[in-house]
Structure formats: C-alpha cells, structure tokens
Amino acid sequence: MSKDAQAVQAVLDYLNYQNRPYSSIDIFNNLHKEYGKTAIVKACESLAENRKIKEKINGKQKVYSADQSQFPDVDDTEIKAMDAKIIKLGDDVKTTTTVVQQLESEMKHWNSSISTEEAQKQLEELTSQVEEYKKKLSSLKEGGVVISEKDREAIYSARTKYAKEWRKRKRITNDILGAILEGYPNPKKQLYEEVGIETDEDYNVTPPQV
C-alpha cells in the first residue's frame, strides 16, 4: 500500500473511530504528523468525493466527519442508558482523581521524610553533641577551664586594643573641647548640653586599666 493510500485509510479509520467533526489540520495534528499535511488534505478530499466521509464548509474552513449512515440506529432508551453511563463514569473519574491526588500528596510527604538510615545517623550525631554539652556543663559546675588558652589570649588582646582606643579617643575629644571652651563664653556643662555630648562620667564608667 502506497503512502497516500495509507493516509486515506488512516483518516477514514480515525474519523470513524472518533465519530466527531475535524478539520484536515486537526486530523494532521491528531495523527501525530505521521503523514504530510498535503497528504492528509488530499485524503480528506478524496474520501469526501467518494462519499466515505462527510464534508461541511464553515466559511473558509472545511470540516470532515464520519458518514453516519454506516452506523446502526440507536433508540432513545439506549441513548439514555449511555448518558447515564457517561455520568457514572464521570463521577468515577472524579472519585479516582481525588484518590490519586491524596495518594500523590502522601507520596510527596514520605519522599520528603528522611530514611531510617538517615534518622539513625542524625540520632548518633545528636547523642554525641549531648555528651559534649554534658562534659562542658560538668566542667562549668566544677569551675574548670571552659575556653582554650588561644581563645583567652585573643580576648585579652582585643580588650587591651579597645581600651587603648577608648582612652585615645577620650583624650582627643577632651583636647578639642578644651580648645573650644577657651573662646566659649558659657560654662562647660552648657556647651555639652548644646552640642549633645555625653561623657563617661554621665554613665559612671571609666576605661579599663591595661
């Protein structure tokens, strides 16, 4: 069978199976572009000419559908039964979809949970940390060393540095204020209030000895 003949048969089978109207472009896309667009158009036209399918023109577009005369007549009772079945199947789909969503939610929850092996590893790490904290707590209660010699030296060094900087800045500030007060007509306290200066004495603090 040639490729064109295959396209004709494919279009006929598709329209008969779906039993609903489609344009040639729809058929081309729905057949997953297995056949060329031109081949599909020719197949539709050929089948319509041979009265194997129906052709209807809507404006500039042609729509094709299966020839309904080939299908047996269906009475009202059967149609109603089919409609009822469609409704039931629709309800079944909704129910199944809800169940699937619930299962997917549960699956995501379990996938995001840690495994038994990971939980065991975390437990071991936390147990080790607890033991370390117990040792430090015991050392604190007994008055033992809680920081290393290196850390102690770093703290004292920083204290000395900042205390010297404190004294230096206080001396510079006092020198500047002294120079201002030489030409200032009011008392020193008034100058401090006007400028908004707060002194160590206001807070009862002094630079530590180094």
Structural domain count, the chain: 2
**Cβ(24)–Cβ(41) below 8 Å:** yes
CA distance 35 to 6: 9
Given 40, 55, 70, the domain boundary residue is 70
Specify the pLDDT at position 144.
Answer: 61
Does some domain include residue 187?
yes
Specify the pLDDT at position 142.
Answer: 75
Per-residue pLDDT of the chain (210 residues), as tens digits, is 788 899 999 999 999 999 999 999 999 999 999 999 999 999 999 999 999 999 999 888 999 999 998 888 777 888 788 888 999 998 899 999 999 999 888 888 877 777 888 888 889 999 999 998 888 888 777 766 667 788 888 888 898 999 899 989 989 988 888 888 888 888 888 888 888 888 888 888 888 876
Does some domain include residue 18?
yes
**Cβ(158)–Cβ(152) below 8 Å:** no
Specify the pLDDT at position 146.
Answer: 63
Radius of gyration of the chain (CA): 46
Strand ranges (E), 45-196 = 53-58, 61-66
- Buried b / exposed e across 18-30, counting CB within 10 Å, b at 16+? eeebbbbebbbee
Domain range holding 191?
149-203
CATH number at residue 24: 1.10.10.10
27-31 own/partner pairs: CB under 8 Å, 24+ apart? 27/64
CA distance 31 to 40: 10
Specify the pLDDT at position 125.
Answer: 92
